[in-house]
Amino acid sequence: SQQGEEDPQALSIQEGENATMNCSYKTSINNLQWYRQNSGRGLVHLILIRSNEREKHSGRLRVTLDTSKKSSSLLITASRAADTASYFCAYNNNDMRFGAGTRLTVKP
């Protein structure tokens, strides 16, 4: 079973809007990673944030990490229809555990 929780479970927005997804976890971590999955495909790594980092950017992606609250957020700015996918956080505590994911739909 997953040990992380994503919020919301599903998100539907218009193209051009920003999408924010949240992730909570329960253990101490070395790093937290975000992945994307298109329907029926394998997962693709998006970004990794270490436990001593608070914020990280990669293109239109912005990730924050609050280890005191055991939570992270992923912000996708200026969304595109091609961003439609499921997004998962995964946290590193010796192994790698995934949350249940947020299903993002970006309407053109």
Partner 1 sequence: DTGVSQDPRHKITKRGQNVTFRCDPISEHNRLYWYRQTLGQGPEFLTYFQNEAQLEKSRLLSDRFSAERPKGSFSTLEIQRTEQGDSAMYLCASSSTTLPRQGLAQVQELFFGEGSRLTVL
In the bound state with partner 1, the residue whose beta carbon lies nearer, of 14 and 58, is 58
Q: From the CB of 38, what's the least distance to partner 1, in Å?
A: 11
Q: From the CB of 16, what's the least distance to partner 1, in Å?
A: 27
> In degrees, to the nearest 5, what angle opens at C-alpha 29 toward C-alphas 8 and 55?
65
Give the count of alpha carbons within 13 A of 76, CB side only: 28
Give the count of alpha carbons within 13 A of 25, CB side only: 28
In the bound state with partner 1, the residue whose beta carbon lies nearer, of 15 and 105, is 105
Q: From the CB of 13, what's the least distance to partner 1, in Å?
A: 20
